[in-house]
A and B are shown apart, each in its own frame.
Chain A
Amino acid sequence: MSARNRELFGLIPASLLITAGFAAVFVQERPVVANASLTYGAAFLGLCLVAHLVIRWRLPDADPYLFPIVAVLASVGLVVIYRLDDTLAREQAQWFVVGLGFFIATIVVLRDYRVLERYRYVIASASILLLLLPRIPGLGAQVNGAYLGVRLGSITFQPAEFAKIGIIIFLASYLRDTRLLLVQRKIAGITVPRLKHLGPLLVVWGVAMLLLVFIRDLGSSLMFFGGFLAMVYVATNRLVFPIAGFSLFAVGAWFFASTVGHVSDRIDAWRHPFDAALYDKVGGSYQLAQSLFAQADGGVWGSGIGESLVKVGLPPDQAVLLPAAQTDLIYAVIVNELGLVGACALLLVYLLFVERGLRIAVLARDSFSKLLATGLATVVALQVFVIVGGVTKVIPLTGVTLPFVSYGGSSIVANFVIVALLLLVSDRARREARA
């Protein structure tokens, strides 16, 4: 089977998932099973087919599995969001279409992605500006103590989602030039770069720390910095960089955890989620504790699609058992309803996404492409780690989205651009490897 036909075949499970999932929600909520679920499945398949045809047209050699993986993730997300709230699901479906639009536009406009290298400093400054936007008075919106959103008219968007792509493009291009300089000097058997080569990298560490202070979000900060360290490691093959980097990050995080009030509250809630005082406190550990209860309740096989208790009672006496169920806690809802089995399947799909991404990096021939693919794949992996780790109490809970699954327009659009870039790199790499 050719690569593109394999991709086409892979879209079948995605649309079947939508059909089965929506049918399960219908059965749960309505007395009569409408055949609407079939319509949704067909509409989803149709949209994916459009994107598939564009890939067939512009990127005939691209990786065949990446797009079906994304379709499967998106369909799981749509089903779970639909089960939580059908208005949100309609909006999410609209964002999915917008995301596909950006995906197609990226592929068509950016045929030779290496032109991005020419604009690296413009891209880097724009990204840092985007990151700081939420702190500008009148524009920014504070949610749960973190400054992540920007309000433009009626839409709120999360600039960090787009900034992460820009920063990876910049780092890939910068490290391509300097990676050999970074490994030139050795002192006592340890690679120690000269200060002038190390300077810009210290600037990146500084930016990660600033993020922590200004945006007050450990998750995003960890995501950026981890992605950066992965790229430096791939560019230099020196363990000293990730080790030194994580130590610096740990020192910085520890310092801010003990001095910035918002961060230390999060740490307390993470250490002792079942502490009665913290549980009742506003902005305390309620969300995390409820998420853990919901996951435990799911068991191995899950309580069934549509069965988890997200809200109890009717407005105005409604009690929200799982706050932010459609964004931060969507993983907890999935564990509750599909059980450990379903959650493992979902994590395996993410694992495959990252495997395909790193495989693209291995196949790529030039350093920029290699670093770009590595960075994009790692940042998605870290984002999944940060939110799943947060929800399962491995690290403090922070509000990043579960890529392609969580509700959120910025997240869907930005992640579709990431997939488009990976496919662009992959098309070139596989074509050259074949020749």
Chain B
Amino acid sequence: MPASTVALQAAFVALLFLFVIWVARSSLRDLRRPDEQRWAGQAAPVGQERTGMHSVVGGAQAAVDPRLVVARAPGHAPGMEYAIGTGAVLGRGDQAEIRLEDLFASSRHARLTRQGALIVLEDLGSTNGTYLNEELVSGPQPLHQGDRVRIGDSEFTFVTG
């Protein structure tokens, strides 16, 4: 085997390894970044949703000052905020903390409750259903920063901190 082939082959394999190291190092850095950390935590089972698919880091990061921000809703100005505190009911009825003027909303449509560090969204057997990130909610679902909650034509964004 001529020396040039040996050199080129060594360069070829070395390049492959350098590439692997570069991607692996950057991936590790990614994992340690706090803004992505939340999504990579251990499963904290919530309510009936014990499949752990939408896992969150339990305990450490309590939802500080959780709010629902109006994205679009009949009778509400976009950007308006509702503080959730320890919980709130969304609906068309008089008892609802967050009043919806939406023809598709039931009188007690959905409920937000605090469970430990989390705010959990639950549909209260409404006629038209509650959507979390455009998925129909069945059973209690934990909310994450930036999640979109939709009831009929009313849409909210969940924010904390």
Does any Cβ of A come within 8 Å of B15's Cβ? yes
On whether the beta carbons of A370 and B53 are closer than 8 Å, the reply is yes
Residues of B within 8 A of A338 (CB): 9, 12-13
Question: How many whole Å from A235's CB to the nearest CB in chain B?
Answer: 6
Q: Which of B1-25 contact A (CB under 8 A)?
A: 1-2, 4-6, 8-9, 11-13, 15-20, 22-24
Does any Cβ of B come within 8 Å of A362's Cβ? yes
A-binding segment of B88-96, B103-111, B132-140: B132-140
Looking at chain A's contact residues, is the secondary structure mostly helix, strand, loop, or mixed? Answer: helix
On whether the beta carbons of A363 and B51 are closer than 8 Å, the reply is no
Size category, A interface? 35 or more
Residues of A within 8 A of B20 (CB): 345, 348-349, 352
On whether the beta carbons of A21 and B53 are closer than 8 Å, the reply is no
Does any Cβ of B come within 8 Å of A234's Cβ? yes
Does any Cβ of B come within 8 Å of A13's Cβ? yes
Does any Cβ of A come within 8 Å of B61's Cβ? no
Q: Which of B41-56 contact A (CB under 8 A)?
A: 43, 48-54
- Which of A176, A180, A339, A356 has the largest number of chain B CB atoms within 10 A? A180
**CA A352 – CA B26 in complex, angstroms?**
11
Size category, B interface? 35 or more
Residues of B within 8 A of A10 (CB): 19, 22-23
On whether the beta carbons of B139 and A352 are closer than 8 Å, the reply is no
On whether the beta carbons of B51 and A307 are closer than 8 Å, the reply is no
**CA A17 – CA B146 in complex, angstroms?**
42
B-binding segment of A22-30, A156-164, A255-263, A310-318: A22-30
A-binding segment of B32-40, B72-80, B116-124: B32-40
List 27 A–B pairs whose Cβ atoms lie within 8 Å, in order of A's numbering. A6-B26, A13-B15, A20-B12, A20-B15, A21-B8, A21-B12, A24-B5, A24-B9, A79-B12, A114-B134, A179-B51, A179-B53, A235-B51, A237-B52, A238-B51, A302-B13, A305-B8, A305-B9, A342-B16, A345-B13, A345-B20, A346-B16, A349-B19, A352-B20, A352-B23, A363-B39, A433-B35
